[in-house]
Amino acid sequence: MKQSLLPSSNLADIETTNNQPSKTWLVKDNKIVGYTDGKEAIKQSINMMLDTKRYDHLIFSWDYGQELNSLIGKYESYIKIEAPRLIKECLLQDDRISDVDNFTFTAVDDGLLIEFKVITAEGIIGSEVTL
């Protein structure tokens, strides 16, 4: 009879969850002022993900944040194709978000305003980002 030095386990008995908690700190003007939950918590999460550059902060995993800065200086036609993909890639890391769609692009000053709808477990949330 062969014995292993490694413990054995039945992985079917282990329960895992990837759901992100909804209740979180409420941040206003870079200060924690209480708690928030539901749709407001998801809005805050969306804003934080879009405000964070991917790979710039060691505290976040490499899946967190956006890479929209790679589009600066590119042709508008390329941005209109690539920006929706990058925004979806950023936001769909949150399991409370099921889809991102209805992208509209508006030229503003020296940039481009991108508006879109985020479909969440709590309803539809309008959001925007400027390049």
Residue 10 lies in a domain: no
pLDDT band at 64 (very low <50, low <70, confident <90, very high): confident
The structure's pTM equals: 0.76
DSSP state of 21: P
Angle between helices 76-91 and 38-51 (to 10 degrees): 130
Residue 14: band (very low, low, confident or very high) from pLDDT cuts 50, 70, 90: low
More confident residue, 117 or 94: 117
More confident residue, 85 or 34: 85
Q: Which domain holds residue 48?
A: 23-130
Q: Is the pLDDT confidence value at 16 over 70?
A: no
- 3 located within any domain: no
Higher-pLDDT residue of 73 and 100 is 100
**Mean pLDDT of all residues in the chain?**
84
pLDDT band for position 7 (50/70/90)? low
pLDDT at 128: 92
DSSP 20: P
Enumerate residues 6+ apart whose C-beta is below 8 A from 99.
Answer: 88, 92, 118, 119
> Domain containing 89 — which CATH number?
3.10.450.40
Pair 126, 115: CB distance under 8 Å: yes
Q: Would the pLDDT of 112 be above 70?
A: yes
pLDDT at 109 over 70: yes
Domain count, the chain: 1
Question: Could you tell me if residue 83 is inside a domain?
Answer: yes
Which residue in 79, 111, 84, 83 sits closest to 100, CA to CA? 84
pLDDT band for position 99 (cuts 50, 70, 90): very high
Is residue 71 in some structural domain?
yes
